[in-house]
Structure 1
């Protein structure tokens, strides 16, 4: 009789346990001596640990972002003092976008430097005045390939072969055809600059002359205009810096003088040339 009660009680306990665990599945433990692991059923909420995202690090950045390398410093390709065909192309392209109004001359001078600086500033680039790789690519995209006319026939053509009279001594060798002035010593060209001359009504005289007077801060009383770094060679005609030439290019003319537009170049030239040095002006 006692045995029958125990059996009946055990059956009742088993039935109650079955009701409590309805809808549950018991799996083996997740490790030796561990507790059983409950497997979720439809309708259960996720635990939140299975889909946790990795924390960003200093090297990877936020998840999903590609690591971005630090931007490279733009390489300087051309700067003030450089010369050659590439500089002519820079100047020709700057003319196309109205940042330079005369030339090309083939010399990276102060006008070119200011034009590049303006171009850079307009486009949010560092205003260095030097033609770096980033500025160059931007200029290429905005302009077309210049032709020979653009490079040479808008003023500032390549310097012509020097007049034979320029091959000896110390000479300011001025050529009207190419609109250039060579500073030559012993037949060797030390400096070449672009120049402009007088109009048909006030022509620049041709021939062989000598520098007879130098005046660093000269001011013309006849025309009431400045003539810095003037080196007089024939009456009132002189080689000198012209701010008008620097601003307007070949759109203007002198009153007979040989105008130089690169102020730094003429300042250096003024310090080298002596009274008595030869001046040759030819076609």
Structure 2
């Protein structure tokens, strides 16, 4: 009979990573799908080892192999890195387009249909603070912006709709809660994106964030 948690101690190359959680998480089957594991919705020692390795690689707060929603988002990102040709729903055009897929919580940039940046993980608006979908344009850029409304830093802010902006975040990117409507990025991703975009570049947003 399985114990509630921490049933499988796991290590690679002699370095202890930590005990694996033997429970099947609420996003078990979806995580299995995106990591290419057997899709049975049941946690196994092999599943946990693969999930835990992915969590460690993405420097996640939770590294026990448990398939929670943050782990699901990280698994989607891992899949997208390996399969960029599968990314769709962003209209091709004769210009640069920042593509924001709120379904998968991903951002990438296309130029004439070719991905030239990303995909990288993104965090869109939480319930009650939705990121506005549709076509937008970057109309304002501030490298060291401070939000007086939320009393918080917004490094590398690139505003695309009212007070909503692409910007760096100091919080773990995969975790809830979502943003107050902005599109949060990891600091280094926001910095790299800042270097490649200009006023007037197009932004296309679609989908809906799962979770909080």
TM-score norm. by structure 1 comes to: 0.47
Contact 1:91–1:100 (8 Å) recurs in 2: no
Aligned to 1:228: 155
1:94 Cα deviation after fit: 6.0
Aligned to 1:161: 87
Q: 1:258 aligns with which of 183, 191, 195?
A: 183
Contact 1:211–1:274 (8 Å) recurs in 2: yes
1:166 Cα deviation after fit: 4.1
1:100 aligns with 2:60: yes
1:231-278 CA distance string (max 9 Å, x none): 1000000010011244xx3222110000002x2222111011011000
Q: 1:198 aligns with which of 114, 125, 139?
A: 125
Aligned to 2:16: none
* Structure-to-structure mapping, 1:170-189, within 5 angstroms: 170-189=96-115
**Number of residue-to-residue matches in the alignment:** 152
Q: CA RMSD for the aligned pairs?
A: 3.2
1:198 Cα deviation after fit: 1.0
Aligned to 2:199: 275
CA distance in 1, matches of 2:170, 2:51: 19
Aligned to 2:4: none
Q: Secondary structure at the match of 1:269?
A: helix
More strand by share: 2
Contact 2:108–2:120 (8 Å) recurs in 1: yes
1:215 Cα deviation after fit: 0.6
CA distance in 2, matches of 1:244, 1:166: 32
Aligned to 2:170: 243
CA distance in 2, matches of 1:272, 1:221: 27
CA distance in 1, matches of 2:202, 2:107: 13
Q: Secondary structure at the match of 2:108?
A: strand
CA distance in 2, matches of 1:235, 1:91: 39
1:208-249 CA distance string (max 9 Å, x none): 000001111011111110000111000000010011244xx3
Change (3 A) 1:91 1:153: closer
CA distance in 2, matches of 1:234, 1:206: 10
CA distance in 2, matches of 1:202, 1:256: 5
Q: Secondary structure at the match of 2:191?
A: helix
Contact 2:168–2:185 (8 Å) recurs in 1: yes
Q: Secondary structure at the match of 1:189?
A: strand
